[in-house]
């Protein structure tokens, strides 16, 4: 039995027509009282960008720049979460301290030497995030003194957990209409707190 497959029709374009590569998207400014999930990068829809623990921080820095992000997920060969590396880790005091202590060059420093390890991450549970507000996430980041927080969820068969999402202070600021400097933690949360006080 023969199966006939219909081909798709092409379109005749007007030479003067303008075609945008991406349709214009108007982002609605959010409020701190909006649901936290609205500012969470959901890794069931967006793939996390990962590096290995032995990768150099120079490679990590270039990867962040290329991808336009400020945090990478560190995984082992099996894909299990080991920790996080942020732009602040690379640009801050950690590399300088390692260079002075271990007498190594900057390009010799590896992600595992500066990453925030799994026991230090203090992840949030997705089932709580689902019922939280953006303000609660901001306060959590402030109290933890971090620019990022991870969210974990339970596997459907209850066999373990997986990395479900990521919160970024810089992204939250952008979606609230606040320009946040990724390197200025104190100023970032001062700006957030002023916004919350105005509600």
pLDDT tens for the chain, 199 residues long, are: 666 777 888 888 888 877 777 666 666 678 889 999 999 999 999 999 999 999 999 999 999 999 988 899 999 999 999 999 999 899 889 999 999 999 999 999 999 999 999 888 889 999 999 999 999 998 888 888 888 899 999 988 878 899 999 998 888 888 888 766 555 454 556 666 665 555 4
CB 110 within 8 Å of CB 54 = yes
Q: What b/e string do you get for 103-119 counting C-beta neighbours within 10 Å, with b at 16 or more?
A: eeeeeebbbbbbbbeee
CB 61 within 8 Å of CB 48 = no
Residue 183 lies in a domain: yes
The total of structural domains in the chain comes to 1
Residue 168 lies in a domain: yes
Residue 68 lies in a domain: yes
* pLDDT of 199: 45
Residue 185 lies in a domain: yes
Residue 3 lies in a domain: no
Neighbours of 79 (CB within 10 A): 9
* pLDDT of 156: 85
Phi, psi of 99 (to 5 degrees): -60, -40
* pLDDT of 186: 45
Model pTM score: 0.77
Residue 62 lies in a domain: yes
* pLDDT of 173: 85
- Residue 75: which domain range? 36-197
CB 51 within 8 Å of CB 62 = no
In this structure, the strands spanning 148-154 and 124-125 are parallel
For the domain that residue 120 is a member of, what is the CATH number? Answer: 3.10.580.10
Residue 120 lies in a domain: yes
Residue 16 lies in a domain: no
Q: What b/e string do you get for 42-53 counting C-beta neighbours within 10 Å, with b at 16 or more?
A: ebeeeebebbeb
């Amino acid at each position: 039995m023969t199966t006939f497959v219909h081909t798709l029709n092409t379109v005749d374009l007007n030479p003067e027509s303008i075609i945008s590569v991406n349709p214009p998207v108007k982002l609605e400014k959010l409020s701190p009282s909006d649901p936290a999930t609205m500012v969470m990068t959901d890794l069931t829809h967006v793939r996390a960008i990962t590096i290995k623990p032995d990768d150099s921080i120079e490679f990590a820095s270039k990867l962040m720049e290329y991808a336009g992000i400020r945090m990478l997920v560190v995984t082992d060969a099996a894909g299990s979460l080991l920790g996080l590396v942020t732009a602040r880790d690379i640009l801050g005091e950690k590399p300088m301290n390692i260079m002075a202590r271990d007498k190594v060059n900057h390009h010799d420093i590896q992600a595992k030497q500066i990453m925030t390890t799994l026991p230090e991450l203090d992840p949030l549970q997705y089932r709580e995030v689902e019922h939280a507000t953006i303000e609660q996430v901001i306060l959590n980041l402030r109290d933890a003194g971090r620019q990022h927080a991870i969210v974990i969820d339970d596997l459907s068969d209850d066999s373990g957990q997986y990395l479900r999402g990521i919160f970024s202070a810089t992204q939250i600021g952008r979606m609230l209409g606040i320009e946040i400097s990724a390197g200025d933690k104190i100023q970032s949360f001062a700006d957030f707190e002023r916004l919350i006080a105005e509600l």
